[in-house]
Amino acid sequence: MSELSVETLIPHRGAMRLIDRIVRLDGDDAVAETDVAIDGIFATDGRVPAWAGIEYMAQTVAAWSGARSRLAGGPPRLGLLLGSRRYIAHCAGFTCGVTLRIETRCELIGANGLGLFACRILRGDEPLAEATISVFEPDDAMAFLAGESA
């Protein structure tokens, strides 16, 4: 699965695509990298605020889910970040120009589309942020968002 590009796995495009490379995908884990861009959507004064890290995590989870969908013969599906039980940043922000590694591990995935993932962001071996995030992948995301299904 690692030969798949980010674009084939997640719906994010343009400035909203925050991860650059898929490093590893397997049954429960995904690892992505991003080169923190000086001209990125969240960059100010040479860094991206630490709170944006949750979106790096969510997009890495989306890549894992997209690969899973592709292996089952379907296209990646739209998912929703529900939130985080805990987001701990060990820094105020991510310095532009550095490469970050985003690691995610599926802790729980339900038949109803609810999932729980343990995530962390590292620069080399240094942990910069960690969280447990909750996601929801409805069968038909557009209908769900339009209020047509529960």
**Rounded distance between C-alpha atoms, residue 31 and residue 94, angstroms:** 18
| CB-based contact 120:103 (threshold 8 Å) | yes
CA 137 from centroid of its chain's CA atoms = 13
- Work out the number of other CB atoms within 10 angstroms of the CB of residue 144: 17
What does the pLDDT look like over 16-44, one tens digit per residue? 899 999 999 999 999 999 999 999 999 99
Residues 6+ positions from 133 with CB-CB distance below 8 Å: 54, 57, 58, 61, 81, 82, 83, 84, 85, 116, 117, 119
> What pTM was computed for the model?
0.91
Burial of residue 146, with CB atoms counted within 10 A of its CB: 0-12 exposed, 13-18 middle, 19 or more buried: exposed
Encoded tokens for 91: 């820094």
**Rounded distance between C-alpha atoms, residue 108 and residue 98, angstroms:** 31
> What is the pLDDT, as a whole number, of residue 120?
98
What does the pLDDT look like over 38-87, one tens digit per residue? 999 999 999 999 999 999 999 999 999 999 988 888 888 888 999 998 99
Smallest CA-to-CA distance from 102 within 55, 146, 68, 134 is with 55
Taking the domains of the chain in order of start, what are their residue ranges? 6-145
> What is the pLDDT, as a whole number, of residue 123?
97
**Rounded distance between C-alpha atoms, residue 45 and residue 48, angstroms:** 8
Smallest CA-to-CA distance from 137 within 62, 70, 46, 26 is with 62
> What is the pLDDT, as a whole number, of residue 3?
53
Domain 6-145 CATH (choose: 3.40.640.10, 3.40.50.800, 3.40.50.10740, 3.10.129.10): 3.10.129.10
